[in-house]
Structure 1
Amino acid sequence: MPVTFNLIGAGHVGRVLGRLLAARGYQIQQVLTRSAASAQLAVDFIGAGSVATDYAQLRPAGVHVLAVGDDQIVPACAALAQAVALDGSIVFHCSGALASDRLQHAREAGALVASVHPIRSFADPAAVAAQFSGTFCGVEGDDGALAVLTPALRAIGAQVVPINAEAKTVYHAAAVFASNYLVTVLDAALRAYQAAGIPEPVARQLAQPLATESMANVFRLGAAPALSGPIARGDLATVARQQQAVSAWDAATGALYAALVPPTQALAHRKQQK
């Protein structure tokens, strides 16, 4: 492949991308991390590249990957732009919450910029690398950068999804709703069952079919058609009694219940319009 890659930061995401790109014939040129030891571990995992311990050691490359924490993206980009000739190259970061506009130092140095966010957990890099095919990657940035990155991402098995850079934070919040806050709502259900005297293991058994069937219906039919329950039926008297009872049991959970009523009513309205 004519495109060479430098990795700046090589945590789980950087290591996985590096290994997959190297396996598809892309040249991983250098890996820069905070220490030579961690860079060597990354090179060993990737199976390619050489260790760099300072930005001054980096050589020019076609693509520079900033696989660093969100709070390090701007300073890392600034250090890269100061140390390496970037004119005509591509710089991208892997944050799900920040847009490519955080790479202004690289853009001012003549680089094209982008962000590439693989939408999955990287807790086990080896397992992710082995099962990466089909992973969705949200991308945005300069057209020229995406023209190079999109074929490379597809080569490693990614499904590329263009996103609106101005809505990047809302895009990332979508994952929080679909994952983190879903767990919070299910926790409320389990605690409410326990408040009714049901042991926690049994509560999980009671909640599981409701939760799994509801999620399956959402992904099969869409959110509005999947909605059921008192709000969908227009039984607001039951909703009011439940909200009062939950608030009396646990004020914080009652506030959560109350906060969910208006958006659920809007969802029920959408269901009625279909």
Structure 2
Amino acid sequence: MTSKNISVVGTGKLGSSLAIALKLKGFNISGLYSIGGASQESLCRQLGICLDNDLCKSVISSDIIFITVPDSQIRNVSRQISQSVDVKNIKNKYFFHMSGALTSDELVDLAGLGAYTGSLHPIQTFAGTSVDQKIFEGVYFGFEGCCEINPIAKYLVDALNGNVISIEKENKPIYHACACIISNFTVTLSHTVEKLLRSIKVGDDIGINAFMPLLKGTVDNIEKWGSIRSLTGPISRGDLNVIRGHAEALNEEGGYLEREIYRIMGIATADLALEKGSIDDRTRQSIRSLLGENSISMEGG
């Protein structure tokens, strides 16, 4: 592909990060659009360009259009483009949305007018307020879409020094659930630890920071060795006395959710320890029985 004219519709954290990254890789950002206009103006200043905040102009001026709006708005934006832009300026163009959960079917109105459509989801978090120019470096992108847009997805991801994972439409919910488990639930676990630390009078000035080296070391181990080989701790060793002590303490100090998190994760960890070979099935059953029946009360605060 020779053309490098790209528009971004939706200039929030994701859209802004994408536009900046693509411009740094030599692409021409020929259109930017946001509903309110303020984020579009701010992004234009960051890019050193001047573009009208106009949806139709953004589509007409580009060969590749990224729709980076919230999931609930993707289909509406697709329909708006299909109704307001002449078909000759839609046909044979490439439209991506970047939702992890939704498929290219959200762009059905554009596909019906001859556009090539796909979903291209970066497996990355965009939580900060500032834009990291290298946020896509080494990132995997979940791709799903028509045959014609497949090589364009690879071309763009290669330019960003990323990698492509092809996902079938019917598998996108599981794919996106994986992203939520590994990212969002890690945040929830961190918050759970913070609450438990407060209950034992550990101040917020120390709090989760004291556990950051442990968390980062665990992530490093998973990256090096994989999940099974990285498992350590009392469940991995089959130390029933320590596990029982945790359960009893959580009955005293923890709330229902904290107890349930420990119980459910503990049972899953016992299964993982068996797969690792660090405990036998008898020990696994003892851990499951301890966590499932005897120690963690379903009552209390």
Range class of TM-score, shorter chain = 0.7 to 0.9
Contact 1:30–1:49 (CA<8 Å) still a contact in 2? no
**Deviations 1:189-223 (Å, cap 9, x if unpaired)?**
44445544555555546534443333332222111
Equivalent-residue separation in structure 2 for 1:258 and 1:118 (angstroms): 32
Equivalent-residue separation in structure 2 for 1:117 and 1:218 (angstroms): 23
In structure 1, the partner of 2:100 is 96
Query: In structure 2, which of residues 209, 215, 221 is the aligned counterpart of residue 217 of structure 1?
Result: 221
Contact 1:32–1:55 (CA<8 Å) still a contact in 2? no
**Deviations 1:166-199 (Å, cap 9, x if unpaired)?**
3323323333332332233234344445544555
In structure 2, the partner of 1:28 is 29
Equivalent-residue separation in structure 1 for 2:203 and 2:21 (angstroms): 46
Equivalent-residue separation in structure 2 for 1:2 and 1:112 (angstroms): 15
1:108 maps to amino acid: G
Between 257-266 and 24-33, report the one with greater CA deviation.
Answer: 24-33
Equivalent-residue separation in structure 1 for 2:116 and 2:202 (angstroms): 58
Equivalent-residue separation in structure 2 for 1:183 and 1:25 (angstroms): 35
Equivalent-residue separation in structure 1 for 2:260 and 2:51 (angstroms): 54
In structure 1, the partner of 2:63 is 62
TM-score (norm 1): 0.83
Equivalent-residue separation in structure 2 for 1:3 and 1:222 (angstroms): 38
Contact 2:30–2:58 (CA<8 Å) still a contact in 1? no
The alpha-carbon distance between structure 1 residues 63 and 194, as it changes in their structure 2 partners (threshold 3 A), is closer
Equivalent-residue separation in structure 1 for 2:209 and 2:20 (angstroms): 40
Contact 1:122–1:128 (CA<8 Å) still a contact in 2? no
- Give how far 1:225 is off: 1.6
The alpha-carbon distance between structure 1 residues 67 and 242, as it changes in their structure 2 partners (threshold 3 A), is same
In structure 2, the partner of 1:77 is 78
Contact 1:247–1:253 (CA<8 Å) still a contact in 2? no
- Give how far 1:77 is off: 0.6
- Give how far 1:71 is off: 1.1
- Give how far 1:36 is off: 4.9
The alpha-carbon distance between structure 1 residues 38 and 186, as it changes in their structure 2 partners (threshold 3 A), is closer
Helix, strand or coil for the counterpart of 2:277? helix
- Give how far 1:88 is off: 1.6
1:272 aligned to 2:273?
no
Equivalent-residue separation in structure 1 for 2:202 and 2:13 (angstroms): 40
Contact 2:32–2:58 (CA<8 Å) still a contact in 1? no
Equivalent-residue separation in structure 2 for 1:16 and 1:202 (angstroms): 32
In structure 2, the partner of 1:255 is 260
Between 102-111 and 161-170, report the one with greater CA deviation.
Answer: 161-170
**Deviations 1:112-152 (Å, cap 9, x if unpaired)?**
21112223334557642255433333222122112123212
In structure 1, the partner of 2:10 is 9
- Give how far 1:73 is off: 0.3
Equivalent-residue separation in structure 1 for 2:213 and 2:7 (angstroms): 47
For structure 1, the 5+ residue unaligned runs are: none
The alpha-carbon distance between structure 1 residues 244 and 101, as it changes in their structure 2 partners (threshold 3 A), is farther
Identity percentage of aligned residues: 25
Residues paired across the two proteins, number:
274
The alpha-carbon distance between structure 1 residues 187 and 7, as it changes in their structure 2 partners (threshold 3 A), is closer
Helix, strand or coil for the counterpart of 1:242? helix
- Give how far 1:273 is off: 8.6
